[in-house]
Amino acid sequence: MYTRTLFIDGQEDYPLTNRKEVARLAGVSEATVSRVLNGIGPMKDSTKKRVLDAAKQLNYELNAVASSFARGRSGNLGVVMPHVPKVHLFSTYYFSELLSGIGEAVRSKGYGLLLLFRDPAAEFDYVSLYRTQRVDACLILGASAIDSEIAGIHRLAEASLPFCVMDQRFEHSGLSIVAADHEQGSYDAVRHLIDGGCTRIGFLNGSPQYSNSQDRHEGYLRALAEAGIEPDESIFYEGNYSRTSGRRAAEAVYRDLGRLDAIFVGNDRMAIGLMQALREKGCRLPDDLKIVAYDDSDAASFTEPPLTTVKVPFYDMGRLAADKLLARLTDKDQTDGVINEKLQTELKIRKSSGN
């Protein structure tokens, strides 16, 4: 199942009168105008220049969707997300920011955006989206390292089709990935707690089936190792990145307060649930427990106390991935190849860490 949204910058798909006007001003046929604007076939430089100058003078812009149809394309960038029953993905900061960045890139290029939902437990046939001309390129959000997901993405990589996985690593040389440096971001978070005098630092993380969970774990361990602190697995807690799982973790964290002076939490949603539940139990934050989280969602500065957290550039990640994929479809100077971009994070210090 899917929904489809076309962004065409408010223009008609190649208004005939505009094309006629361009042809008249350039002194060429309408067919020549169409060939120049769509980049079809050989063309004299002088003719091409006359057409482009006339189009510019008349403020006539190439519509990417119409151009795609002329080339046998769909004009759509596909975004494939996991279908999780009873979970409002669009309300989560992670997905909403990624989609906002993707949407802005799509809108600015005049492309359409096709949203599709996959069942994470079944192999998704990505290749069929291209074969049936539903998409020209594809962004994959929320993927995890379970067998069905790995099989579908590997099949797509082997087909050498334009796509990019967001924020998740898979072992395959043909994979394009745009992600944040979660290991460094997590290291910075834990280092901040250590620099504040904390030595007994717990860790509430998401599922290890996500590579960014593994990266957070590596950053946490690296910070402890540099400080000469032995990790204690008895103060590792696992959630699923939801607020509810943060509240559930509060039972164990509250029980362990005598062995903790701080905790690093893998995202803001879990941290907010944890903080709410601990305060309900009478815990004084940050006096009884210092907390640093991850994401810097809109809610982070409105918690009590305001949440120290690592800012992740999800919007920029979404825009960058979409821009690079669309450039390969529309810019002849772009060469094929694997996209591999890692964006930097930034620690935002607020009162929950005792500062």
Q: Quick check: bond before 15 cis, omega within 30?
A: no
Distant-in-sequence, close-in-space partners of 3: CB < 8 Å, separation ≥ 6: 115
CATH of 182-312+347-353, one of 3.40.50.2300, 3.10.129.10, 3.30.360.10, 2.40.240.10: 3.40.50.2300
CATH of 73-180+315-342, one of 3.40.50.2300, 3.40.930.10, 1.20.1290.10, 3.20.20.80: 3.40.50.2300
What DSSP line would sit under 40-51, residue for residue?
Answer: -S---HHHHHHH
Which CATH number is associated with domain 16-70? 1.10.260.40
* Residue at token pair 């998740």: 168
First to last CA, the chain: 48
Domain with CATH 3.40.50.2300 in the chain: 73-180+315-342, 182-312+347-353
Domain with CATH 1.10.260.40 in the chain: 16-70
- In Å, how far are 23, 118, 140, 338 from 231, measured between CA atoms? 72, 37, 34, 37
pTM of the model: 0.79
- pLDDT tens for the chain, 355 residues long, are 333 444 333 333 334 446 788 888 899 987 788 777 766 667 788 888 898 888 878 776 555 445 554 555 678 999 999 987 766 777 789 999 999 999 999 988 888 899 999 888 888 889 888 888 789 999 999 998 888 888 889 888 888 889 999 999 888 778 899 999 999 999 999 999 999 999 999 999 999 999 999 999 999 999 999 999 999 999 999 999 999 999 999 999 999 999 999 999 999 999 999 999 999 999 999 999 999 999 999 999 999 999 999 999 999 999 999 999 998 887 655 556 789 999 999 999 999 999 7
d(CA 197, CA 261): 9
55 neighbors 48 (Cβ within 8 angstroms): no
